Amino acid sequence: MRHGKYPLIITFLVPPLLLYGVFVVSPYLQAFQISTTDWLGYSADANPVGLDNFRTLLHDGYLWNALKNNALLLAVVPVVTIILGLFFATMLNMGGRRGRAGVSGVRGTSVYRTVYFFPQVLSVVIIALLWKEVYHPNSGLLNGTLGALGLPTPSWLGDPRTAFWCVLAVMVWSNVGFYVVLFGAAMSAIPRDIYEAVMLDGASRSVTLRKITIPLLWDTVQVAWIYLAIAALDAFVLVQLMTNGGPNFSSDVIGLRMYDTAFGSETKFGYASAIGVVMFFLTLSVAVLALRAGRRDRIEYS
């Protein structure tokens, strides 16, 4: 078994390591270093300024404004998406009455599941551009519908009061289908006899959902929360393409702040990297928090 194992280990491990080291590890390490300089871009002129960039960050009103929007996304998107996902997954997996009580899906389950999953296979760019047209104040689908019903037709993305919430709604829209399928897969892994037992004991449907299904899905919900929280800290593509942070920075997010600082009209690479470092610690703490807060005993079916 030992004979000739090292040639394989070396040929199999060195190319991926090189690729990963050059394009992933080294940029990440450099980013921390760049964040402590006043580098302004294409000239090689970068002076170490210690933590000055981070001190500037603390008083940067635009950054706090963007952070506030990310905090709102973080507070709303995961909760709403998970509730909708659980609701639809429950309906699709156990909303039906045929067969064994309470554990079969409604009719047309597979069609619903196919359609709900559509946004997941579309690129975020397409979703953003399509919804920008849906929200269009004159020729959009939304105002076309509202107008036909005789309702007021707001300007949605053009209004600082609504623009951010319009983007948030699209974020929920594009994610729900994936979690319906994810929760659905986790639900069908729950052994049927558990349900049969509780039905025999006369448990109602809502009790079954609260006391059996959701506790058994807890691990999956936790994973969903982490992924959605990370997505809420990003939201860059949707915001950039739908509103570009506007009107008047009302829908700005921290990713867009960083992108514009680095690749916008001025190229403040040092400062942009400092924003990147902040994003890194935010992502890390959100994930760690979710893992700690949600820790429960693992349940395995044998």
Partner 1 sequence: MTILEPPVAAQDTGAPVAAADRPVRRELGVANLFSHGFLLLWGALTALPLLWMFVTSFKSNGEILADPWGLPAALRFDNWVRAWTEAQIGRYFLNSAVVVAGSVTLTMLMGATAAYVFARYEFRGKQVLYYLFVGGLMFPVFLALVPLFFVVRNAGLFGTWTGLILVYAAYSLPFTVFFLTAFFRTLPTAVAEAALVDGCGHFRLFFQVMLPMARPGLISVGIFNFLSHWNQFLLPQVLMQGDDSKWVLAQGLAALAVSQGYAGDYSQLFAGLTIAVLPVLAVYVMFQRQIQSGLTAGQLK
Considering only residues 100, 210, 211, 295, which one is a binding residue for partner 1 as defined by CB under 8 A?
100
Site string for partner 1, 176-195 (x = CB under 8 A): xxx--xx--xx---------
**Of 65, 79, 94, residue with least CA distance to 249:** 65
Residue choice 53, 74, 116, 166 for contact with partner 1 (CB under 8 A): 116
> Quick check: 233 binds partner 1 (CB under 8 A)?
yes
**Per CB under 8 A, 79 contacts partner 1:** no
Nearer of residues 168 and 262 to partner 1, judged by Cβ: 262
Q: Is 151 in the site for partner 1 (CB under 8 A)?
A: no
Token digits of residue 253: 């997010």
Question: How far apart are CB 173 and partner 1 at their closest, in Å?
Answer: 7
Q: Which of 112, 156, 164, 225 touches partner 1 by CB under 8 A? A: 112
Minimal CA–CA distance to 53: which of 40, 65, 66, 35? 35
Kindly state the smallest distance separating residue 182's Cβ from partner 1, in Å: 5
Please name which of 270, 224, 215 lies closest in space to residue 80, comparing C-alpha atoms. 224
Residue from the set 118, 210, 211, 299 that interacts with partner 1 by CB under 8 A: 118
Using the rule CB under 8 A, is 222 a contact of partner 1?
no
Tokens 């960050």, located at residue: 57
Binder to partner 1 among 87, 165, 218, 249 (CB under 8 A)?
87
Give the Å distances, CA to CA, from 60 to 30, 52, 71, 116, 280.
24, 12, 16, 40, 18
Site size toward partner 1, by CB under 8 A: 110
| Residue 70 · residue 253 · CB < 8 Å | yes
Q: Are 85 and 176 in contact (CB under 8 A)?
A: yes
Q: Cα 49 to chain center, whole Å?
A: 34
Q: How far apart are CA 188 and CA 193, in angstroms?
A: 12
For partner 1, which residue of 55, 75, 79, 97 counts as binding (CB under 8 A)? 97
Phi and psi at residue 48, to the nearest 5°: -70, 130
Q: How near is the Cβ of 269 to partner 1 at its closest, in Å? A: 5
CA–CA gap between residue 226 and residue 294 (Å, rounded): 10
Q: Does 156 bind partner 1 (CB under 8 A)?
A: no
Work out whether 234 is an interface residue with partner 1 (CB under 8 A): yes
List binders of partner 1 among 19-48 (CB under 8 A). 19-20, 22-28, 30-31, 34
Considering only the stretches 52-60, 71-79, 175-183, 293-301, report the one whose residues sit in contact with partner 1 under the rule CB under 8 A.
175-183
Phi, psi of 254 (to 5 degrees): -65, -35
Nearest distance in Å: CB 61, partner 1 = 20
What is the distance between the alpha carbons of residues 269 and 281, in angstroms, rounded to a whole number?
18
Q: Which stretch binds partner 1 (CB under 8 A): 12-20, 48-56, 155-163, 291-299?
A: 12-20
Q: Of 79 and 108, which has the nearer Cβ to partner 1? A: 108
- Hunting for tokens 């280990």 — which residue is that? 9
Please say which residue, 76 or 198, places its beta carbon nearer to partner 1: 198
Q: CA 182, CA 288: separation in Å to the nearest integer?
A: 22
DSSP single-letter state for residue 40:
-
Nearer to partner 1, 94 or 164 (CB): 94
Long-range contacts of residues 109-113, Cβ cutoff 8 Å, at least 24 apart: 112/88, 113/180, 113/181, 113/184
